[in-house]
């Protein structure tokens, strides 16, 4: 993750530094500690990323395996 800076916020009477990160999908600055969709900025960006995995736009490198149907017919 890329650190894009920090912001200060009053927390329980003390100043606390809140870390900011960039959303991996849209590159928007997001306060890390307060974000329920981290590492994404929103549910929308989270679902866009999930959709890319489901449609196999993202792939993990490795050897291609034969389909299960081909293995059963042998």
In the chain, domain spans: 3-60
What tokens were used for 46?
């989270």
Looking at residue 74, its pLDDT comes to: 53
- CATH code for the part of the protein at 3-60: 3.30.50.10
The parts of the chain modelled with pLDDT lower than 50 are 1-4
pLDDT of residue 60: 83
Contacts of 44 (CB under 8 A, 6+ apart): none
> Measured on CA atoms in the order 29, 18, 42, 22, is the torsion positive or negative?
positive
Question: Mind listing the pLDDT tens digit for each residue in 14-35?
Answer: 777 778 889 999 999 988 888 8
Q: What is the pLDDT at residue 13?
A: 62
Q: Is 24 exposed, middle or buried (0-12, 13-18, 19+ CB in 10 A)?
A: middle
pLDDT at position 4, please?
A: 43
């Amino acid at each position: 993750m890329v650190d894009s800076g920090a912001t200060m916020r009053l927390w329980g009477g003390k100043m606390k530094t809140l870390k900011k990160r960039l959303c991996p999908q849209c590159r928007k600055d997001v306060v890390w500690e307060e974000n329920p969709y981290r590492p994404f900025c929103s549910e929308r960006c989270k679902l866009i990323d999930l959709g890319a995995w489901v449609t196999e736009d993202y792939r993990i490198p490795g050897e291609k395996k034969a389909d299960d149907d081909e293995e059963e017919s042998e």
